[in-house]
A = this chain, B = another copy of it.
Amino acid sequence: MRELGISVLDELIGQLARLPGIGQKTAQRLAIFILKSSDGYAQELAQAILNVKQKTRLCKRCFNVAEDELCAICSDPRRDTHKICVVEDIVDVLAIEETHTYRGLYHVLGGVISPLAGVNPEDLNIRSLIERVKNEPIEEVILALNPSTEAETTIIYITKLLKDMEVQISRLASGVPMGAHLEYLDGATIGMAIQSRQKISKDT
């Protein structure tokens, strides 16, 4: 790790390099850009960083990021309150919202069950999910977890807890992603796509 011998610049480079996907070289380029930028930009950037920590919290209903007690989605009266989409992380809410294909509510688990990594069911927002299904007019719970062994465990765990309730449980379709070439896809995905193959109607 090279040092430039200018302690404040080295400190900034060190801090920037802690960001994901930002290596030492990129951190240096960014630090020098900030050094040479207007005072205004540096202050706006620093303030924006502080604000995002100080002015946000977790939605008390769905654990999405929020500026008030409830997040923008939970407090939007146009959302379909009969569906909950269960995701691992806040970023997944953003990814699904971007598609504009889902108008229901969310529930952010905060991870998946992974005893090896020390994540047990009680570390996740699972109890609050069950409470919501009990108390809200939920008709469908869509489990939208990232495909992994831990996600499967989590899906089984949640499904068991919801078993006796009057609610439909579903999960994201597994299969070939749009634009993919079978040639380059992994075997597990192709196998899943064959297993979950969809009937084509002869009527159309």
Residues on A close to B: CB < 8 A? 2, 4-9, 11-12, 14-16, 18-22, 26, 28-36, 39, 41-53, 55-56, 65-67, 71-72, 90-91, 94, 97-98
- Contact between B53 and A15, CB atoms less than 8 A apart: no
- Contact between A51 and B12, CB atoms less than 8 A apart: yes
Closest to A16 in B: B45
- Contact between A33 and B19, CB atoms less than 8 A apart: yes
- Oligomeric state, in number of copies? 2
- Contact between B53 and A42, CB atoms less than 8 A apart: yes
Of B32, B36, B46, B53, the residue contacting A49 (CB under 8 A) is B46
Residues from chain B with Cβ under 8 Å of A98 in the complex: 2
- Contact between B45 and A8, CB atoms less than 8 A apart: no
Of B5, B15, B47, B48, the residue contacting A44 (CB under 8 A) is B15
Of B11, B41, B52, B65, the residue contacting A42 (CB under 8 A) is B52
Residues from chain B with Cβ under 8 Å of A65 in the complex: 6, 9, 35
- The 8 A-B pairs of least Cβ separation, nearest first, read A46-B46, A12-B48, A42-B53, A15-B48, A46-B49, A5-B72, A8-B51, A15-B45
Of B7, B35, B52, the residue contacting A53 (CB under 8 A) is B35
- Contact between A42 and B49, CB atoms less than 8 A apart: yes
- Contact between B94 and A28, CB atoms less than 8 A apart: yes
- Contact between A8 and B52, CB atoms less than 8 A apart: yes
CA gap between A52 and B46 in the complex, in Å: 11
- Contact between A6 and B67, CB atoms less than 8 A apart: yes
Give min CB distance, A29 to chain B, whole Å.
Answer: 6
CA gap between A19 and B49 in the complex, in Å: 14
CA gap between A56 and B33 in the complex, in Å: 13
Residue pairs across A and B with Cβ atoms less than 8 A apart, 11 shown, are A5-B72, A6-B56, A6-B71, A9-B65, A12-B48, A12-B51, A15-B48, A42-B49, A43-B53, A46-B49, A49-B49
